[in-house]
Amino acid sequence: MRFAPVSYEGLSAAIARAIRLHADAATWRRIQRAGMATDYSWANGGAACAALYRHLKSPPQGEKMSVLTVPTAPFDGQKPGTSGLRKKVRVFQQPNYAENFIQSVFDAVAGKAGACLVIGGDGRFHNRTVIQQAIRMAAANGFGKAMVGQGGILSTPAASHLIRKYGAIGGLVLSASHNPGGPDEDFGIKYNIGNGGPAPETVTEAIHARTQTIERWLTVDTGDIDLDTIGTVDVGGMTVEIVDPVADYAALMESLFDFDALRAMAAGGFTLAFDAMSAVTGPYAHEIFENRLGFAPGTVRNGTPLEDFGHHHPDPNLVHAKALHDLMMGPDAPDFGAASDGDGDRNLIIGKGRFVTPSDSLAMLAANAHLAKGYAGGLKGIARSMPTSAAADRVAQALGIPCFETPTGWKFFGNLLDAGMATICGEESAGTGSDHVREKDGLWAVLLWLNILAMRKIPVEALARDHWARFGRNYYARHDYEAIETDKADALMRDLEAALPDLPGKCFGPLAVAAADSFSYADPVDGSISANQGLRILFEGGSRMVFRLSGTGTQGATLRVYLERYEPAGGALDEATPAMLADLIAAADAIAGIARHTGRTAPDVVT
């Protein structure tokens, strides 16, 4: 029996009518005979019902599917750090947890109706699950198109390039960077804006504010799509394009560097070992180094992305890339060694018998960048994070260009790059990049190094010695104390900050304190102020130490202590770094009370 309107009242009236008709025996028999004479088999009415179901489940191409509203409630602790929201996988697997954060991102993004969104990640455990949900949510929130890396794979710099090249409004980058992966390890979500870079503080603050009040998230009722086949598919009226994650990025690299010279170098016997650490750069490195440049098969090690990174920690430092370091320091070392991290934005550079610190790498690349065709016109400026050594400052001074000191976090470089005030940027945490994207870029740094070596025709050791003879050497190390109880780490920083005004003039061994402060940054482009970005203690003669709590971990707090000693040209330029920093190491504990506050007598990681 048909009825209208479709409501409680309409249904009640239809039931009452049916009861009245049933009481009239003659009328009821006529209804029965008419019903039995109608074909309600699967071939007729059943098929129509099935067609209706298919229409509702997957409407015709371009037709908007009904949006489902899922009630929810806020979770504590969804404030994005310098690189997005990072937590343990088990946290993200809670019902509504990832959805709440993604919806908060979408709610904070203006102008998303009909816009393009880039989605991809580093291939770690839980990536595919969240990508499928993010696609459905993007459709429900009115995006017109989603570009997704094949297999859910997109390195962070490649995602930045896609956003910029195709005019996307932004992108979701699913990664916990250099942190380990697997069911019991780490996961993360970061939003990049339309310039391809990480969301600035105004956006992350809006996202965080929304996570604290969110009451619903939106989706469409459709199944998972095939992420492994390149092509397009419709999801809830939104076009989803599965794209080759490597092709556009590789073409960009070929436009910046002299691939002919690099091919000739490889053909001439120059050898390379690149450790992709079972992470996202594997497919990129295979295509660029082995397929396009002609380095021998096997040049790329650990080149298949794995959800748990082969049970390894995908952080390209001397602890987690020990096998590569040992190879490069051995008798059978290739000419050049390099590695990249989980999402492809960090790098490790090691020549035959010579490790190059990230701070020195930035300075050496800046001094020689003009040898690559993409930078033949020179640099507009250099930018470095405050904890990064001042080695790049001396290069900038020699080149007659500005050097900007920013807070930690690549997002602070975005304004400088967009304004044309800087060309090359770097962080001591092994991140280096340029204005070609708005992220640090591990493979870019490796290719620039190779291009410079091809042009200068000298090994890494000779280039490093030549650089220090010209500019002097900044002996440098970072000591990480990981997973400290948060209240103990906060107490250490609070007590140290309170002591800063009384430090100038005091001596710690041979070191005399010249100044001490809490670093604050005034953005030269928009005038915004970022305060409390790290505690600095500067010594007479140019040495210094910096104390920061890191925002990239997933549990407890990581105390980072940065130690730097400057040795001018003509001084002791080839000494062991620990020996040169011994006085600073002792002073750091005396000044901050590291052992007293944390119970730690040595750092967990030294880089």
Q: Which residues are catalytic?
A: 177
Pairing label, strands 431-434, 557-567: unpaired
**Is 451:463 a contact under the CB 8 Å cutoff?**
no
**Is 265:295 a contact under the CB 8 Å cutoff?**
no
* 121: enclosing H helix or E strand: strand 116-121
Give the C-alpha distances (Å, rounded to integers) separating 539 from 94, 501, 583: 49, 14, 12
How far, in Å, CA of 393 to CA of 442, rounded? Answer: 22
Q: What is residue 148's DSSP assignment? A: E
How far, in Å, CA of 392 to CA of 325, rounded? Answer: 25
How far, in Å, CA of 503 to CA of 512, rounded? Answer: 9
How far, in Å, CA of 262 to CA of 152, rounded? Answer: 30
How far, in Å, CA of 67 to CA of 50, rounded? Answer: 21
**Is 441:345 a contact under the CB 8 Å cutoff?**
yes
Comparing C-alpha atoms, which of 176, 96, 177, 188 is closest to residue 133? 96
Pairing label, strands 186-192, 403-406: unpaired
Structure tokens that stand for 100 in this block: 């709440």
Please give, one letter per residue, the 3-state secondary structure of 477-512. EEEEEEEECHHHHHHHHHHHHHHHHHCCCCEECCEE
